[in-house]
Structure 1
């Protein structure tokens, strides 16, 4: 290429980046308050993000959990020439073994991770746009690696632009129930399964005040969470599982997010409950937008009512509730638990990206990628997975 052609090419590229609606600059912000205005502007209906990336959800997580883990906000904001935000990556950074790694805020409490996008930009984004974004982050020399886990290939009707970058399948897929417009209940949950649940529910219906409801008042939220944090540790001990809700800051995060009201209605985390006058029978909590409900955590009573599968009855009620509100999808979170297959027959593919920003990050990216591929191979092989489960139980 001649010098004149090279100059002409760079000039054309500069013009493209200077146009409204195309990336003109990239900022990295280390303070939640400084990012809040741009962040909330990308949460409007004309933008695209999952409920797990709302400011109220992740700000509560970062302040209660992230800070205790030594994680610093690493919020990437790309804007056009008129300084309108085009995308925001809500990341947190931590140094380990000499590598500064930035990953999505939310940790294991977020089923899906995704940038917040201006839809017009997202639907027209090209590989060159994404490469330029990564180059701009790399040029700041503030991180060695982006480790971006559990990203959906699509959200609602939009392809995830980060899928244009090199990526690989996540360790697990996500069981999914797709709800077609106007679908009859029998098409969502089989008639035979519904009859089984109705038979079990008849044992609960005589209980005084038996009801399904969504917590709407602060008093209800507090009461249900107080019960959850008493009962869940007992249920996990029964299953010989570690109590993840006892980790520093986790209870405070959940309480803060369940209390945070959204401008569109509901809360950052909604609680659905099955109750009677004498006790809480079961709860499921999750996040919702106008399209999808995603389950986060649940538990059920220690009383004799537990024998009638109240958790399954509550899941049926939740599915019917959101189908009646014209939602299009429902998921029970990532994982292969058998009960999830009773409701969610499909799998939603999700992906990970390990993007080096420095030579040191390149070595770490290769190692992380290999470990995740090995984990997925084990999960996909029933014999290997059973061996892994036995070993885990022995060491636990």
Structure 2
């Protein structure tokens, strides 16, 4: 479940354990020599930065320190930080492998491993990278695996990684639905952009997070909104880290009116009191709808989630409503009544890959698996078919893996 304090749920116990055991108690300052004792792997740069910020804030009055490493930025400053020594390292898999290959990180003293958003890492094709990391970790350590769903792929990963795990499962209550006002605006596909501009201007929305299905769609929508006099920027895997950081920073401070994002890039966006989320395109994975609207209504606050739905997306909408066990209210916006004779067309889920409203991942709510592992970490079982995603045969078409350039720019 989004917005419920999951990061604090694993960060606070880690800080307590590492600061009060024999090694932690011997630390006299944040700058004394130390080794990496906790490794946290996340699928995206933004989520990595968000998690490390939480670690830093919560651990302010301890002698523990932390750092974050991810692709898209220079590696030398990261090498310098690692040389100084850190207790808690937050990383994306690709950049961590870069450091491992250059021998600029020592993971031989890791006591705790956390895989955050494991389902998303599998979707993004990181399973091989994860296995390479596991191969160099100490065999005896504690493993924690967090996943929004518990598919066959995640089960296979858990079985190979964890040793007699305790399983903590939070059934999907969809508590976000209780505090978020949701509505569907039926619209023709070619009227989505005019409708969005109309809603923003008419309702005087000042901070809006908009989701698109593709990176190309995000870029195109930004151009259209700017042409309409609405300040907008896009955030997705093809953007440089500098551009992504700038867009997110300006959006958080309220200097940017509209942030257009893809699902993967939006992970890690945590903004207090974000009032509006718009599904410009419905996600092909129903669970992603819950994650999307969970960007508003954080920690019990109220929010509004609006979905612009054309005839092509009716099956997707049915899947979403089945998942959340609720029929969402429809509201036709004056001047945008959809053509009743319009026929559905195949949806471009990614470049060159037409598809349809895919079925969602199997499984229930947030799943946390915890284990003290003596298992040989070098030989975890395969989590589904190898490749960029390792998907189950029953899943609908997947979004393309993030763009990777300049080595491992994850």
Q: What TM-score do you get using the length of structure 1 for normalisation? A: 0.32
Q: Which has the larger radius of gyration?
A: 1
Q: What TM-score do you get using the length of structure 2 for normalisation? A: 0.31
Structure with the largest fraction of strand = 1
